[in-house]
Structure 1
Amino acid sequence: MTVRRLTEFDELGLALVSGFDGADRVIEWAHAIELGDPAPWLSGGELVMTTGMRIGKTQEEQFGYVERLFDAGVVALAFDTGTNYDSVPAGVLAASDSLGLPVLAVPASTPFVAITRAVIDDLTADQVRGFQRVVDQQDVLARATLRGGIVMVVSALSRALSSPVALIDTDSRILAVHGHDSAAVVEQTQIEAADGRSRVGQRRQSSKVVADDTGHFLVQSVATSTQLRGYLGVESGVPLSAPERLLVAHAVSLISIELAKPAKLVDAESRLRSAVTRSLLSQSEDFDIGLLHYFGFDAESEITAVVLTNTGPLLAAERQAASVLAGASAAYLMTSRGNDLVVVVPAERDSELSALLYRDLEAQLHVPVACGSGLPTRIFEVARSTHQALIAARSATLATIRCVQFADLDTFSLLLSSLNPADVRSLSESMLAVLDAHDDEPNVTGGLVDTLAVFLRHNGHIEATSAALGIHRHTIRKRLNKISELTGRDLDSAHVRAELWIAVTAREIALLGPPAVSYGAAVTSSRASPGGPDR
């Protein structure tokens, strides 16, 4: 409720007559008082209402009266023009304009109680709206907890408050952080954690508000039933409102529950996620759609499959990938497939999340991870996108670009991937079988097929091929001569290189095996879209 908005209540008939610069000041309460110096009975933020009984007779006295209101933090003055004065006195107007304190002229027909009721009703309605927003946000936090645990709760709270949020354990280590310019809130929360360690016999539950030149910080302890586990810090430009503090308390409760969650339960959730993903890939007839909702999807979700290869031990890769996706507040499904990691993400976030996964896993696992993304599709067609992602990932392992989207593959890969796997293998063997036979001979060192693939990938440059394989260029030339001899083809011919490149690409695609389901397979009737399955 602002001063300007109060004048828009036609039934009150209020007119803003001076102090126009303060018309947008916010009214926190309305109070009628007839003292010459009401300041000791005011706390700031009020709309003061008076009939002018004790404001003084001279302009100097009236100026002093308004000045005392201004110093007490009063928002505005409502002056009755029907009891002691027919209009607002000149001294009040002069002080109002000088100090920027708005003055409202109240007509004789408007009782002060009507103004008070209008202010209180609006404040009450605003509080109800505020707490309704909290209830809505509590639901968001609860769903965030189900999807990604404490990392996603911190992210959701940060977005709800539009403030940086940090979760620190009792040893000052960062468990989760979200929001721009979060260094200050991390530092302040770590200070509180250090202070907590230094106190003997400290209370397990505590809340602290700190204000400095950078802003306001609310630091709340996070505890389980048995021990203090950390601190949650929130930075804000102004002190948090009561509804916002309630939302922080709700987030603390959810985080406490997550921190107390037994390791066995966390492992069970991970296994369930993997089982749901495998069931989707195999197009199980008895699939429970309700399980999708638990992980943030539904039957209409548009998804993209992401495949990560060369990750090393899959358990470590799964844990790291889960941490990345939780930090990005992403809904996801995940399972291992052979030596690959399959992750299903919302289609609209494919590029962002695949890049995050690739960069983080390569940095944290210290292995040359390769990543491939399939085309967007409906969630029950995930097998199609997964097979495309496998093709893209395999291409990435053999290229300088380590994160490849299926849509960006060359024409050969796209055409070959649409063929029957048996035809792809036949095409590969017809061109490369003679080289395979040579490579399988005893005492043969250096595979001709691998050498050919690298040579073609480097556009027939011997020096680049030599560097890529770590072999002397003379040895490369000998191998290339042997390939020409065995195949009866001239490697200097562009046509021959194209044929061999098709064969090599077919070999790589054939190694992937057939997709989990046929690309044209219909989805079961319980899952089919209104227009029928996509073809």
Structure 2
Amino acid sequence: MASRIASEERSALHRALHLYPRLTTAALELGAMRGTTRELAREYGGWAAVVDPAGEVLAVAPETAVADAARAASAAAVSGQSLSVVDSNGHLVGHTLGAGAARGRLLVWREEPFARPDYTVVAAAASLVTYDVEQRRRTRAEGHRAAAEAVRETLEEGADPVTATRLLTSWGLDPQDITVMVLRTPLAAGTYDVLTDYAPPVLATSTDRGETVLLTSRPAEVLAALRDPAGPLDRVCPGPAGVSEAVSTGSLVQGLRQARQALAIGLREGRAVTSIRELGAIELLLASAERSVPDILVARVIDPLRRAEEDRGVPLIATVRAFLDNNGSLARAAAELGIHRHTLHHRLGVVGRVLDRDLDSAYVRLELALALQAHALGADGTA
């Protein structure tokens, strides 16, 4: 038995010594992820995969094993540098990728057991992939730094929208759907490194006011990350933030103004994150002049309430009017409408949900009052 084990070990060691140069050659020819997974799968007769920290398969060989690799990555989501799992189906080994922080894992599976030299091979392959991953990260972080000046120029008056579109598109942003976020804190040194690892495309720059400006086409995900005190984005972009509505590359200056105004109001009211959409009347003052303000108000406030009235059979517009006419007094508004206060409270809750607005905000109430006036003017020419 001992001689057989020693023979298997020598065979595995001999195989490993011949596999090292093949791994290096394949990594140079195909890239570290594709090259190493191909050679490992070919050598061990099973499958090999590179997965990111979330378990998403980035490279796999053979390609038919992608589902198996995803399941294995999910089941093997444990801490530690190396990994070895044995079950009724076979044997799985793995090694963490990354210099410092974990960037993912290299996984290799086959039916037969792995010998000790095989673990060394997997570790060496993981080193090749790690080097490639870290080089890509460093290059992308440098790209973020280099792009910061160009991003700052897109936010200036008279910026060329064609150039801005080309820049933002190259980073994966939608040039017709850009949200501008302004933070009052200066741009932190590690911001570009964090953005390199961040899934939603985000561009960052600083201004001469000492602000940090973020541009993204996926604001919900970025806002969630900013609100997460344990997240890496909050660490480099702390403090209150102001958020614009979605704008095109030709309106980035407008988006910057909106975000700054939202931030200023949020600071006064003690908000961590303030969207200009939460400040409807202020948003209107900063909006473009493509349509008249009354038309915008009716489309944004009255029309949704009218549709909700038809669906629910509840007079929401009259409810809002009574609420505002009585300066927010539930008792007086309910008496005017001839309904119970609880009924009025429920109706106002429906209004808030339909419009996605907080009716306790003075700015929202101002917007509602203006919308009712615009509706009255459109209906009979008098307010």
So what's the TM-score if we normalise by structure 1? 0.33
More helix by share: 2
So what's the TM-score if we normalise by structure 2? 0.44
Structure 1 or 2, whichever has the larger Rg, is 1
